[in-house]
Every structure is written in structure tokens, then in C-alpha cells.
Amino acid sequence: MGIGLDVGSTTTKGVLVDLSRTILASALIPTGSSAPVAVRRVLEELSQASGKDLAGLPIVSTGYGRTSVEFTHEAVTEITCHSVGVHSLNADIRLLIDVGGQDSKVIKIGPNGRPTDFELNDKCSAGTGRFLEVMARVLEVSIDDLGPLALQSTSPCTISSTCTVFAESEVVGKIGTGVAPADIAAGAHSAMAAKVGALARRVGLTTPIGVTGGVALNSAFRHYLSKQLDSPLWIPEKPQLTGALGAAILATK
Amino acid sequence: MLEGHAASENGRLAWITSGFPVEIPVAMGVGVNYPEQYGAVIGSQKVGPQICGFAEEMGYSQELCSYARSSIGAARYPEKSPLEGLPKPQALLACNNICGTVLRWYDAISEMTGAPVFLFDTPPTQGKQTPHHREYVRQSVMRLIDFLSTTFHTTFSEERLREVGNLSGKGIDLWTRCLKACRNRPSPLNCADRFLAMAPIVSLRGTELAVEFYQALLEEVEGRVAQGLGAIRDEKIRLLWDDIPPWFTIFRFFNGLAARGVVFPADTYTHAWSGSLSGADLVDSVVSVYSNVYLNKGLEAKVDKMCELIKEYSLDGFIMFSVRSCKRYSLGQLVSKELVMERTGVPGVVIEGDMVDSRLFNDAQIQTRIDALLEMFI
């Protein structure tokens, strides 16, 4: 068995796999203010869900907090872990777009499941989950309702995707002029898809394209990204867990 | 620095850009100081944000080159700057073969110090330099001699230029041999070593001192090669570095990677001082060397250089530092990265930051990118 821990900026994920790479248990909780506390809670959840004693099992940690896991056996970047995780679920994927809470990355996956090239978003939260969180707050809807709201739009408005802070004031302006919330939400998703699409083109589009990360759960983002890339997208059942899954697989080796 | 002060007190000091044909002022008895190197000093003293901040208070944008900002900031408040600023110049010699910012930067310094600016204009070339282009740059050499003669009441002698040119050539030759020694496994020098050891080839080019320095360095480097002594303890991965280094974290950065077995036997930056003045027509040689630096020659020249270094130094991959300040050096890195990967088959990564302004350097983001690159070699 092996444990993978993905300590992200927004959520901490854990996956327990056996040697045949079958997922025995998984957990996902908000990272909060303390990564070590979140890690301990995830391990407890994995132990409870699987009914197994996890003591002494190999652990690989990943995510921005990967080095803060004191009992990890190895810290591996989320770029490698997502590649390995996605490859285990769908070995055909050659281009992976992962959109997390505070970064987005595009990874070219080699036939062996390892990354061969990658790009991460620049120093800006536009193009990450944070952008959508800010938009949801301004529109006064929950983050889960933002995608469905956007899909109701018949006339998406244009929103700048250069900067989250500027986009926020732009949205406030649009609300003031009476633009429908659905059209604003659609504009926000479209802007974000354009930003992520540009990052993907930088690496080079190779189909089939996989999308992971929490933002992959958002139906409007998937719709606009698919349109932007002019390609269908493959989404795993639990897109937030592929990093932890990859880490867990690496832990078994 | 002390020589700079002495020259300034005697009314014979010029500030000069790193790619300027320095052999001419040196041959005419003019002392030179390098604001870009002073910027590196400010960076390595970790006071970049503070000194750049002085220029920002004056209204200069944070988007402006941090060498320019730190130079302008230090000229505004020398008493609050490392080494109390550079000595006061009597002339400012700018060559735009490295970037166009230098001209406006020196204009700003001119307003503050009253020293006149001389622009040695080397229009960028794509492919082969045309005859009229060469003639134009040649005229700049003539104008430079006139300018220095008038400003510093000195005379030009071709014989003296040949002497300085010979010394410059000797220094460059020794330095190039030190660089080439890094083709060996293990590499006798790492990136930070070269970035420090390059100082004389930039600022003392054309002097005996530089020749002596590189003779001693070459001896040490060849000694290390003979004994099989590497710059780092356990060399596993050999990478190419592109662009100016982050001066404020140069040891931490490269030593951190060295501890993981990563060495940088070559970089594009320290290989930039490689052209010697030679031949019967020295002025023509000045034209060739100084208008053909690769930053002045379009993207293809730089891509070629990177591919050549990767092959020659048997490198496994490359890191391109996208320096926010240095548009001329960093522009096109994303495209270059693709081209170099395609041509050489080795992976590379672009990281972002700055050479002086540590506010633009995000450690966690850089670490993730570099870690992911290194994981590709496992």
C-alpha cells in the first residue's frame, strides 16, 4: 500500500492505494491555516475509511505544502504526480490541464506517464480557481452555483482576464449598469477559459486533453474551455484527487 | 572603485555600459565605471528594493529595468547606497547593443550629474550585417574618438589602441579557456563561480590586471580538471543557465541545487564577452565585435548559442531565468525554449524573477518549476 498527500493552497487531499493501484480510500478537506493539522486529519480519515492501520506506510507528498509534511518519505511536485495519476486512469491522455485553487498548469505527458514539458500560470490568480471564487462572491452566489448560473446565459458579456482585482471592479461596474448575473458569470468563465487555453497552446495542443483540479468540477468552465480548445475534454470522476493518486502510486514504488 | 574615485577627482571618469567598446576610452586614458556592475553589487547586498525604491519615489515605474532604477536611486541618495554610490562621472558612454533602455537611463543620470551622454549606436541586425550598416557603426567609432578628445582633452593613438586591444584579447582568450574547461566532467566551475569571476572581463577589459587575474584563474581551473575536482561534490545533472542571475540569492540558489547534484557548466551570460580586437584594421574589428553581440542579433542567434552550448558542454537540460527587468535578454524565451527543446531534445523550464529587485522573486513558484524539471531526469 502507499499513501499520497496533496497539500494544495485551498484543499488537502489524500489517497490510499494498494499495490495494484486500486484506490482503497480517499479524503479531501480544506487546508485552512495549518497544513500539518490538515495532513493529520486527512490521514485519520484515510485510516477510518479503509479500516487499516496506516503506520509505517510509505508516503509521498505533493502540492505547494509538500515540504511541510514532516513524515513524508519523498516530496514530489504536483506536475509529476498529476501526470502519474492521470496516466493510471487514462493512459491515452497526452495533455493535461490542471486548474487548482491558486494556480493552473498545463502538462505534456509522455507515453511512460511522466511529464515531458509543462507551463504554469504566471504570478497572477487570473486563470485559477481563485478568480472564480472572487467572481462568485461579487455576484453573491455560492461557488457551486456559479457554473450552472453561467450556463443559463444567452449573451455572455466580455470580461478582462488579465487581473482578478481589475476584473472584480469591472464586474461591479457591470452589475451597476444592469447586466444580468448569468451573463456576467458566463463572461467570467469565458475569460478564464481563454486564459487557460492560451497557457495550453503555449505547451502545444495534443488530444485527447484531460482536465483535473477542483475547477474541472465546474460545468461552465468545462463548456467554455472545450469551446476555446475546440476539443472534447476528458474529466476523471474525482478530478481533485489525481495529484494525490499519482503521489500514492509513486509511494508504492 | 578607488581608481574610479581617482579618475573622477581628476575629471577623467566615464560611466559605461557593459557592451561598450571600452578599449577606446581606456586607450585614451579615460577611467571607466560600470553602473550595471554596481547594480549587481546592490543586488548582492540585498538592498535592491530599497535603492530601486528611491527611483520609484522620483516617479520611475517599477517596470523599468532594476539596474537603471538602482543606478538612478543611488545617484539620488549616494549616502544611503552601497559604497556611497559610484564616483561622479564626467561623461556617460552608452552602447545600445545590449538594450535601448541604457540611453534613457544615461539621459536621466546626465540630468542629475551634468555629464554629457555619448550614444554608440549599433542598430540590431538579423542575419549578416550589411556594408552600409557597418559603415554607420564605423562612423560611431570616429564620433566617439572626437567626443572623448573634446570632453577629456586627450588624443587617440592607434598604437595605444592596439596595446589595449591586445590586452583585452589576452584577457578574453584566458577567460574563454576557463569557460571551456567546464566541458569536463565534473565541471570545475559552477554558475555562481563564473558570475563572480566574470567581473574583470567586464570592468577591467584591456588592462594587465585582468590578464593576471585570468592567468591565475586558468591555472586553478586546469589544476582542478587535472585532479578531477568538480565545482560541486557529486555532479549528477548538468544544466545550462540563461540570462542574468538573481544576484540577491545567487549563492543560496545555486548552492541549493548543487546539494542535489545539479551543476551548471555553461550559461549564456558569461559567454557574451568573447570577441577580441584583431587584424590590420582595428576600427573595423571594433565594429564587428560590438555590433555582433547576440543580444543585438535577433532570437535565432541566441537559440543557436543555447543549442551550441548544450551540445558542446554535454548538458542534460536548461533553465531560462525570465528577468522582469531585462526585456532585451528575456523577450522570446518561451519561443526559444520550444525551439531549443526541439533541436536538442533536452527539457527546459522558464522561471520568472529579477536580477536586483527581490520583490519580483517568488521562491515557492520557482522551486516547483525547477523541482518538476529535475524530476524529468529521474
DSSP B250-266: HHHHHHHHHTTTEEEEE
**Which residues of chain A make contact with B362, given a CB cutoff of 8 A?**
123
Chain B hits for A77, CB-CB cut-off 8 Å, are 368, 371-372, 375
- Band of pLDDT at residue B294, cut at 50, 70 and 90: confident
- Residues B119-133 have a mean pLDDT of 91
- pLDDT at position B1, please? 66
Measured at the CA of A89, the angle between CA A86 and CA A94, to 5 degrees, comes to: 45
Least Cα separation, residue B245 to chain A (angstroms): 19
In a domain, B249, yes or no: no
Pairwise CB contact (< 8 Å): B347 & A117: yes
Q: What is the mean pLDDT of each run of 10 residues along chain A (253 residues)?
A: 93 95 95 92 96 94 90 93 97 96 92 94 80 93 96 92 82 93 96 93 94 95 96 96 97 94
Contact A114 B376 (CB under 8 A): yes
pLDDT at A70: 84
This prediction has a pTM of 0.90
Residue B8 structural domain? 2-156
CATH number at residue B104: 3.40.50.11890
Residues A161 and A147: their CA atoms lie apart, in Å, by 17
Domain count, chain B: 1
pLDDT the model gives residue B250: 96
Residue limits of CATH 3.30.420.40 in chain A: 1-90+239-253, 92-235
Flag if B372 and A123 touch (Cβ within 8 Å): no
Residue in A9, A76, A77 to test binding to B, most B beta-carbons within 10 Å: A77
Chains A and B form CB pairs within 8 A to the count of 37
Is residue B363 one of the residues assigned to a domain?
no
Facing residue for A77 by CB, picked from B341, B362, B371: B371
Q: What is the pLDDT of residue B277?
A: 85
Per-residue confidence band for B3, with pLDDT thresholds at 50, 70 and 90: confident
Chain A contacts in chain B segment 297-336 (CB below 8 A): 334
Q: Which CATH number fits domain A92-235: 2.60.40.10, 3.20.20.70, 3.30.420.40, 3.40.250.10?
A: 3.30.420.40
Q: So what's the pLDDT on residue A223?
A: 97
pLDDT exceeds 90 at position B328: no
CA distance A204 to B342: 12
Q: Which residue of A has its CA nearest to B373?
A: A117
* Per-residue confidence band for B293, with pLDDT thresholds at 50, 70 and 90: confident
- Cell numbers describing residue B186: 565534473
What's the average model confidence in pLDDT over B55-74?
96
Reported ipTM:
0.85
- Dump pLDDT digits (tens) for B165-216: 999 999 999 999 999 999 999 999 999 999 999 999 988 988 999 999 999 9
| From the candidate CATH numbers 3.40.190.10, 3.30.200.20, 3.30.420.40, 3.30.365.10, the one assigned to the domain spanning A1-90+239-253 | 3.30.420.40
Residue B288 Rama label (left phi>0; alpha psi -120 to 50; beta): alpha
CA-CA distances (angstroms) from residue B124 to B65, B130, B286? 20, 11, 16
Least confidently predicted of A219-223, B111-115, B165-169, B276-280: B276-280
| Structure-block grid coordinates of residue A158 | 466580455
Whether B108 has a pLDDT exceeding 80, the answer reads yes
